[in-house]
A = this chain, B = another copy of it.
């Protein structure tokens, strides 16, 4: 069992949640949400929503109906097993997602290429704190962009390099030509079903980002419809920025995001009642000095804690995070901000976090070094969350030990006891040694050098999943030329 340390409850009260809900309803009823798809507008019309142009106004009744059918939890099934998502389960995580450039171990920033994406897949696959894999940098320059669909080749890489479940991006009108994005989404879902030979359950989870304020693009809606018709769950998120695409006050972001995400969730349940959907936000404050997003700022966590409280109020699985930083390098700032951005997920216990490791400069840059360093932050938070063992049995035992040692005695005797191993997290990458700092630094090296060494070891020891001939044949239909079996 994963204990919910209820981090957000100390910031957002039940009364706050009720007020946030009240005003979100007001937005849904009086302002409405824009949906850029005739097919979607028809769905809303058919179910009695008010449709004015592209704007859909949603009543409390329609919302409640959708919230009744949206499940509290759902499970992604792959050949490797089941991954349940929801309040009763440990938060699930995805590694590096979506940057176009990487900061490499030689300290240069360069556009990521397919071999880099493969290397990242190997790190995610071998990570004990990352549950889902993703094709990290997408639409890399070395893909054959004359293909009608150069999105699905990238997705197929996930299945080649890892038997962990995949967390998908949506196909877009740049990487898919000559067919609708809805069909492209269906094709992806079908590839997974065929690959796993699992046809009747969710096998894939995909991220669908709304526009802010209060809108959904044609591209995202097409993907949502395609995936849901194939019985595949989606995460609906917003990524509003204060004072740009949301009001200046944080509360404005929260109610606007909530109304936006709820409208998307209503849509999923109108298309297929009972389909899994994650309620999410990665809304952030804006630095108005340079008009830049600040994903690592404390305000982002305050917005996310409010969203988490709302998601819990609706009984939905909730995505928080990203975990990440606005820094350009895996430096002091990156450490502070990665710890900050993962607090809500791990201590407030959301159900899902994207980019739990490996990104820099908000969403713009991926980094292997940061991935293995961020893993340590995940481990620290998991340890902190585990808490302290205070029990009658332990009390009697330690009292006897203290009595035996006596005042000014010592405890160092023979083998390190089981309690020590049970209750101590020992870092494999952070320095914990005492001694002359100059000598020691020469010995252990810079933390980025240590990270680079771990990356090398991880990539070397990586073992590809065993695939059947049939699975290889399926992937060969999709994989980039250079990656075919």
Q: Is the interface of A mostly helix, strand, loop or mixed?
A: mixed
What residues of chain B lie closer than 8 Å to A398, measured between beta carbons? 23, 247, 249, 251-252, 255-256
Tell me which residues from 125 to 166 in chain A have a Cβ below 8 Å from any Cβ of chain B.
Answer: none
A23 with B328, Cβ < 8 A, contacts A214-B407, A251-B389 known: no
- Number of residues from A at the complex interface, CB < 8 A: 137
Query: Is the CB of A401 closer than 8 A to any CB of chain B?
Result: yes
Query: Is the CB of A395 closer than 8 A to any CB of chain B?
Result: yes
A432 & B290 in contact (Cβ 8 Å cutoff): yes
Report which of B7, B243, B422 forms a contact with A416, defined as CB distance below 8 A.
B243
Bound state CA distance, A109 and B436, in angstroms? 9
A407 & B215 in contact (Cβ 8 Å cutoff): yes
**Shortest Cβ gap from A281 to chain B (Å):** 13
**Shortest Cβ gap from A434 to chain B (Å):** 4
Query: Is the CB of A298 closer than 8 A to any CB of chain B?
Result: yes
Chain A, 389-413, contact with B by CB distance < 8 Å: what is the 0/1 string?
1111011011101110111111110
Tell me which residues from 105 to 124 in chain A have a Cβ below 8 Å from any Cβ of chain B.
Answer: 108-109
A434 with B397, Cβ < 8 A, contacts A331-B331, A407-B31 known: no
Bound state CA distance, A362 and B108, in angstroms? 32
Bound state CA distance, A283 and B447, in angstroms? 26
A383 & B298 in contact (Cβ 8 Å cutoff): yes
What residues of chain B lie closer than 8 Å to A301, measured between beta carbons? 384
Tell me which residues from 175 to 217 in chain A have a Cβ below 8 Å from any Cβ of chain B.
Answer: 211, 213-215
Query: Is the CB of A333 closer than 8 A to any CB of chain B?
Result: yes
Report which of B26, B303, B333 forms a contact with A335, defined as CB distance below 8 A.
B333
Report which of B33, B303, B364, B432 forms a contact with A434, defined as CB distance below 8 A.
B364
Q: Which of A7, A298, A397, A416 has the most CB of B within 10 A?
A: A298
Measured CB to CB, the nearest residue on chain B to A212 is B408
A388 & B250 in contact (Cβ 8 Å cutoff): yes
A425 & B298 in contact (Cβ 8 Å cutoff): yes
A419 & B254 in contact (Cβ 8 Å cutoff): no
Bound state CA distance, A406 and B347, in angstroms? 35
A27 with B395, Cβ < 8 A, contacts A243-B411, A249-B389 known: no
B331 & A432 in contact (Cβ 8 Å cutoff): no
Report which of B26, B299, B373 forms a contact with A383, defined as CB distance below 8 A.
B299
Report which of B211, B255, B294 forms a contact with A432, defined as CB distance below 8 A.
B294
Bound state CA distance, A282 and B231, in angstroms? 53
**Shortest Cβ gap from A470 to chain B (Å):** 43
**Shortest Cβ gap from A340 to chain B (Å):** 6
B420 & A388 in contact (Cβ 8 Å cutoff): no
What residues of chain B lie closer than 8 Å to A49, measured between beta carbons? none
Q: Which of A20, A214, A365, A376 has the most CB of B within 10 A?
A: A214
Report which of B6, B31, B244, B408 forms a contact with A410, defined as CB distance below 8 A.
B244
Report which of B54, B302, B399 forms a contact with A387, defined as CB distance below 8 A.
B302
Tell me which residues from 451 to 481 in chain A have a Cβ below 8 Å from any Cβ of chain B.
Answer: none
**Shortest Cβ gap from A270 to chain B (Å):** 19
A390 with B31, Cβ < 8 A, contacts A339-B336, A399-B26, A401-B247 known: no
A290 with B433, Cβ < 8 A, contacts A255-B395, A387-B302 known: yes
Bound state CA distance, A286 and B338, in angstroms? 25
What residues of chain B lie closer than 8 Å to A390, measured between beta carbons? 12, 16, 19-20, 251, 254, 306
Q: Choose the segment among A84-92, A220-228, A437-445 that binds chain B (4+ C-beta atoms closer than 8 Å).
A: A437-445
Query: Is the CB of A329 closer than 8 A to any CB of chain B?
Result: yes
Bound state CA distance, A124 and B244, in angstroms? 37
A364 with B252, Cβ < 8 A, contacts A331-B335, A373-B332, A431-B328 known: no
Return 11 A-B CB contacts under 8 Å, by A number.
A10-B10, A12-B390, A213-B411, A245-B410, A248-B423, A287-B432, A328-B444, A332-B332, A333-B430, A360-B437, A364-B437
A residues sitting closer than 8 Å to B (CB atoms) are 5-7, 10-12, 16, 19-20, 22-23, 26-27, 30-34, 54-55, 101, 103, 108-109, 211, 213-215, 242-252, 254-256, 285-294, 296-299, 301-303, 305-306, 326-340, 347, 360-362, 364-365, 370, 373, 376-377, 380-381, 383-384, 387-392, 394-395, 397-399, 401-403, 405-412, 416-417, 419-420, 422-427, 429-434, 436-438, 440-441, 444, 446-448
> Could you list 6 further interchain pairs (A-B, Cβ under 8 angstroms) beyond the known A6-B10, A251-B395?
A10-B10, A213-B409, A247-B398, A289-B432, A331-B447, A333-B431
Q: What 7 A-B pairs have minimum CB-CB distances, sorted nearest first? A: A335-B335, A252-B398, A34-B407, A248-B420, A214-B407, A335-B336, A249-B419
